[in-house]
Amino acid sequence: MQHYIEQQLKRLDWNIAPQQLYQPIGYALESGGKRIRPQLVLMGCELFGGTRDAALPAALAIEVFHNFTLLHDDIMDNADMRRGRPTVHRKWNDNTAILSGDAMMIKAYELLEQLSEKQLAQILPLFTKTALQVCEGQQFDVNLELCEEATMDEYFEMIRLKTAVLLAAALKMGALVAGANESDAQLLYDFGIDIGIAFQLRDDYLDTFGNADTFGKRIGGDIVCGKKTFLLITALNNADAAQRQMLKQTMADKQLNEAEKIAIVTKFYQQFGADKACENAIGERYQQALNHLERITGHKNDKKPLAELAAKLMGRNL
Amino acid sequence: MQHYIEQQLKRLDWNIAPQQLYQPIGYALESGGKRIRPQLVLMGCELFGGTRDAALPAALAIEVFHNFTLLHDDIMDNADMRRGRPTVHRKWNDNTAILSGDAMMIKAYELLEQLSEKQLAQILPLFTKTALQVCEGQQFDVNLELCEEATMDEYFEMIRLKTAVLLAAALKMGALVAGANESDAQLLYDFGIDIGIAFQLRDDYLDTFGNADTFGKRIGGDIVCGKKTFLLITALNNADAAQRQMLKQTMADKQLNEAEKIAIVTKFYQQFGADKACENAIGERYQQALNHLERITGHKNDKKPLAELAAKLMGRNL
Q: How much is the pLDDT for B217?
A: 80
Which ranges of chain A have pLDDT less than 70? none
> Dihedral sign, CA of B254, B257, B259, B265?
negative
Tell me what pLDDT residue B75 has: 97
SS3 at position B167: helix
The predicted structure's pLDDT at residue A215: 79
Contact B95 A142 (CB under 8 A): yes
Which of chain A's residues have a Cβ under 8 Å away from the Cβ of B124? 109, 113, 120, 124
Chain B residues within 8 Å of chain A (Cβ atoms)? 17-18, 20-21, 72, 75-76, 94-95, 98-99, 101-103, 105-107, 109-110, 113, 117-118, 120-121, 124-125, 128-129, 131-132, 135-136, 138-140, 142-143
Tens of pLDDT, residue by residue over B213-262, are 887 788 999 999 999 999 999 999 999 999 999 999 999 999 999 999 99
pLDDT at B318 over 80: no
- Give the pLDDT confidence score for residue B213 in this predicted structure: 84
Quick check: B105 and A102 CB within 8 A?
A: yes
Predicted pLDDT of residue B144: 95
pLDDT digits (tens, 9 = 90+) for B135-165: 999 999 999 999 999 999 999 999 999 999 9
Whole-number pLDDT of residue B88: 98
Interface touch A102/B135, C-beta < 8 Å: yes
Residue B291 to chain A, least CA–CA distance (Å):
31
Residue A20 C-alpha, separation from nearest chain B C-alpha, in angstroms: 7
Q: What pLDDT sits at residue A214?
A: 82
Q: Hey, are the CB atoms on A135 and B105 less than 8 Å from each other? A: no
pLDDT of B214 reads 82
A109–B124: do the CB atoms touch at under 8 Å? yes
Cα separation, A65 vs A228, whole angstroms: 26
Model pLDDT, residue A156: 98
Identify the CA nearest to B197 among candidates B287, B126, B300, B129: B287
pLDDT at site B215: 79
pLDDT value for A317: 76
A-chain residues near B107 (CB < 8 A): 132
The pLDDT tens digits for B171-192 are 999 999 999 999 999 999 999 9
**Statement: residue B317 has pLDDT above 80:** no
Considering CB atoms only, which of B103, B132, B138 is closest to A132?
B103
Instruction: List Cβ neighbours of A262 (8 Å cut-off, separation of 6 or more).
Output: A208, A219, A220, A223, A224
Res A279: pLDDT: 97
**What is the reported pLDDT for A140?**
97
**Cβ B113–A124 below 8 Å, yes or no?**
yes
Percent of chain B with pLDDT over 90: 95
Q: Which residues pair with B85 in a beta bridge?
A: B82
Helices (H) and strands (E) counted in chain B, each on its own, are: 17, 2
State the pLDDT at residue B32: 79
The helix, strand and coil proportions of chain A, stated in percent and rounded to the nearest 5, come to 75, 0, 25
Amino acid making up residue A177: V
Are A109 and B107 within 8 A, CB to CB?
A: no
Q: Is B188 left (phi over 0), alpha (psi -120 to 50) or beta?
A: alpha
Phi, psi at residue B86, to the nearest 5°?
-60, 140
- Burial (CB < 10 A; 0-12, 13-18, 19+), residue B117, is exposed
More confident residue, B32 or A83: A83
Q: Do B18 and A143 touch (CB under 8 A)?
A: yes
CA angle A204, A207, A213 (to 5 degrees): 140
Decide if pLDDT at B284 tops 90. Answer: yes
- Which site among B95, B111, B133, B141 would you substitute to test the A interface, given the most A Cβ atoms closer than 10 Å to its Cβ? B95
Instruction: Name the residue type at position B107.
Output: K
